[in-house]
Chains A and B, each alone.
Chain A
């Protein structure tokens, strides 16, 4: 086994997902298959191989710091599931 039910539950909590008992079982089975498959990478010795996170040799993409119009408040709030005129509304955070 590459991954256990407990690990799937832990990862789901980290990812802010809530899985049903059935989903945990199904995901454990499917993730185990996938992780067993990707273990084929262990066949390769990569000791001195650098990582590629980006395929183009771009380091810093600078631009002039010019003040531009930003999104107006009403437009920024327009898609919120809950908002008042000033801000997004969320459940109480500090209790």
Chain B
């Protein structure tokens, strides 16, 4: 049997029953990486020796019968999360060679449960992008169709899971960066409610929007990962002190009593006909499972891109001020004055998209423009948030496509930032409103590219998303298919 095809839960069961060892599992995944990585290009850094050593230790633990939740299970982590024993680059040259002095809280939680981290995976530089093409080290490709984007910014996290290079992965989602690559690569990805998962040790892009979440082969694995990642953290003052349910218990058959909202604005012009067909088919699946369908409106949807591309760059321009060439990261050692050191180090270290966003953000916050741009965007953010509050008075979840189109060819749109920003229109609102969202595989385009369905729910209602995603998974049966690598 090919162990790399197992889901996280299947591998866990086999380890606990001693059908397999963690060493064999880890070796199988490393062999898989050797076999397909030249096509997938997901890893920025791979740590084979550390992984094999951790697998041997896990096997000793497993022999003692008190195995932890993820004991001996190999995962991959987006290179935006601090890992004390592995370099963390954020996909940027400015952090080349940086090894953080501490673990992010989510990394700590995975390690405390015995997980093995195989390596760090590709992403758009500082998570700013929708294709992972701005990664300074490697550009991941879609396992379903090499030469096509894996999505972004957590493109490496999605490609690695879809290709069977790891059992599950972590990503981060500021405007769709977990849900979009999950959809394009045919896997499950969840952006939790803002505050559900600690951001401590997540290198900040836009602090009021960023959330860490899992990318997995199926809904069961997603619930398993969320059980471990969620919870209050004193080290993140924005994490919320609230009881975490057992998400696995939310995976129940049938949707009786659930009201599914369909926002008309999410099915507008520009939607690819295949995406429209697949998602509407998914809505029928929910209906067949007993859900009531409610047509509704989220009238401020058309303003999401404008709001997001002011607020996110504004927060980024402030967050990325820390890259000054003093404490970590790249420095131009030739610079003679302090000011030249700042300017030259940052200009040589950051890529174009990061510079573009720092400039937009600095402009939107600058004296004379603050009210017209940043404040205006923050007010419209309130209207977007209110739209969802009204929607959730009449439904339990809102269902839509994740992206207007399936994956596209690498290189397309790379000279047109606004065209790229517009492709994010369906995912940005969850971050602006702080609500949870999930992408679950729902079907394929005529070309054979995966298409996901997005579901969004009210704050801290991830259980509703798990139940609906579970019902889609049972009917769509995508989980049983794997890319032809």
Contacts and interface: CB of A to CB of B under 8 A. Distances in A.
Contacts of A23: 355
**Interface majority SS (helix, strand, loop, mixed), chain A:** loop
B199 to A, nearest CB: 13
Q: How large is the interface on B (under 10, 10 to 19, 20 to 34, 35 or more residues)?
A: 35 or more
Contact of B363 (A7, A19, A92): A7
B306 interface: yes
Given A18-B344, A19-B347, A27-B359, A56 B194 contact: yes
Interface in B419-435: 421, 432-435
A8 B359 contact: yes
A51 B373 CA distance: 12
Interface string A54-74: 111010010100000001000
Contact of A53 (B208, B310, B359, B459): B208
Contact of A79 (B324, B329, B356): B329
Interface string A1-29: 00100011001101111110001000100
B382 A50 contact: yes
B446 interface: no
A37 B171 CA distance: 29
B309 A38 contact: yes
A74 B433 CA distance: 42
A91 B336 contact: yes
Interface string A27-46: 10011011101101110101
A41 B327 contact: no
A51 B338 contact: no
Q: Which of A27, A33, A40, A81 has the most CB of B within 10 A?
A: A81
B359 A11 contact: yes
Interface stretch (B63-71, B150-158, B234-242): B234-242
Contacts of B325: 81
Contacts of B281: none
B38 interface: no
Contacts, number: 162
Q: Secondary structure at chain B's binding surface: helix, strand, loop or mixed?
A: helix
Contacts of A16: 321, 324, 339, 342-343, 346
Interface of A: 3, 7-8, 11-12, 14-19, 23, 27, 30-31, 33-35, 37-38, 40-42, 44, 46, 49-56, 58, 61, 63, 71, 75-76, 78-82, 88, 90-93
26 contacts: A11-B363, A14-B366, A15-B317, A15-B359, A16-B342, A16-B343, A16-B346, A17-B343, A19-B355, A27-B355, A34-B360, A40-B306, A41-B303, A46-B383, A49-B382, A51-B379, A52-B378, A79-B98, A79-B327, A81-B326, A81-B328, A81-B329, A82-B331, A90-B338, A91-B335, A91-B338
Interface of B: 98-102, 194-195, 208, 234, 237-238, 240, 300, 302-303, 305-307, 309-310, 317, 321, 324-331, 333, 335-344, 346-347, 350, 355-356, 358-360, 362-363, 366, 373, 375-383, 385, 417-418, 421, 432-435, 459
Nearest 9 A/B pairs, CB to CB? A55-B434, A81-B331, A51-B378, A79-B328, A61-B237, A46-B379, A18-B343, A38-B306, A16-B342
